[in-house]
Amino acid sequence: MKNKFIVTAILLATLTSCVSPKVYKNLEDKYATLKKENRSLQDEYDALLKEKNKADNELKQASDNYDAAVDDKYILKGQYEALLNEHENLKNSYEALEANSSSAIAANSKKNRELLAQLEAKEQALASENDRLENLKKELEVRSNRVAELENVIAAKDAAMTNLKNAISNALTDFEGKGLTVEQRNGKVYVSMENKLLFNSGSWAVGVEGKKAVKQLGIVLGENPEIAVLIEGHTDNAPYTGTAQIKGNWDLSTKRATTIVEILQENESINPENLTAAGRGEFSPIAGNDSAEGKAKNRRIEVILTPKLDEISKLLGDN
Return the CATH number at 121. 1.10.287
- Predicted structure pTM score: 0.58
Same domain, yes or no, for 38 and 58? no
- The yes-or-no verdict on residue 129 having pLDDT over 60 is yes
Same domain, yes or no, for 37 and 89? no
User: Which among 152, 171, 188 is the end of a domain?
Assistant: 152
Q: pLDDT per residue over 295-308, tens digit each?
A: 999 999 999 999 87
13 belongs to a structural domain: no
User: Which among 125, 152, 179 is the end of a domain?
Assistant: 152
Instruction: State how far the Cα of 299 lies from the Cα of 94, in Å rounded to an integer.
Output: 99
Long-range own/partner contacts, residues 8-16 (CB < 8 A, 24 or more apart):
9/243, 12/242, 12/243, 12/245, 13/243, 13/245, 15/203, 15/204, 15/205, 16/243, 16/245
- CATH number for the domain that contains residue 34: 3.30.1330.60
Same domain, yes or no, for 234 and 281? yes
Same domain, yes or no, for 250 and 287? yes
Instruction: State how far the Cα of 255 lies from the Cα of 160, in Å rounded to an integer.
Output: 31
15 belongs to a structural domain: no
Same domain, yes or no, for 40 and 58? no
4 belongs to a structural domain: no
**Mean pLDDT in the chain?**
84
- The yes-or-no verdict on residue 31 having pLDDT over 80 is no
* pLDDT attached to residue 155: 79
Same domain, yes or no, for 65 and 102? yes
Same domain, yes or no, for 39 and 146? no
What residue numbers bound the domain in which 196 lies? 20-49+161-318
12 belongs to a structural domain: no
* pLDDT attached to residue 101: 67
Same domain, yes or no, for 217 and 93? no
Same domain, yes or no, for 213 and 266? yes
Instruction: State how far the Cα of 77 lies from the Cα of 72, in Å rounded to an integer.
Output: 8
11 belongs to a structural domain: no
3 belongs to a structural domain: no
Same domain, yes or no, for 95 and 43? no
* pLDDT attached to residue 213: 95
**Number of structural domains the chain divides into:** 2
5 belongs to a structural domain: no
- pLDDT band, very low/low/confident/very high, at 316 (cuts 50, 70, 90): low
Segment 22-26 mean pLDDT: 75
* pLDDT attached to residue 306: 93
- pLDDT band, very low/low/confident/very high, at 5 (cuts 50, 70, 90): very low
* pLDDT attached to residue 309: 66
Same domain, yes or no, for 82 and 58? yes
The alpha carbon of 13 is separated from its chain's Cα centroid by a whole number of angstroms, namely: 44
Residues with Cβ within 8 Å of 123's Cβ and at least 6 positions away in sequence, in order, are 80
* pLDDT attached to residue 317: 59
Classify burial at 234, counting beta carbons within 10 Å of its beta carbon; exposed 0-12, middle 13-18, buried 19 or more: buried
What spatial distance separates the first Cα and last Cα of the chain, rounded to whole Å? Answer: 72
Q: Average the pLDDT over each of 14-28, 124-138, 173-187, 280-294 and give the range with the smallest value.
A: 14-28
1 belongs to a structural domain: no
* pLDDT attached to residue 292: 93
Same domain, yes or no, for 258 and 236? yes
CA torsion sign for 206, 209, 210, 214 is positive
Segment 265-283 mean pLDDT: 95
User: Which among 152, 181, 205 is the end of a domain?
Assistant: 152
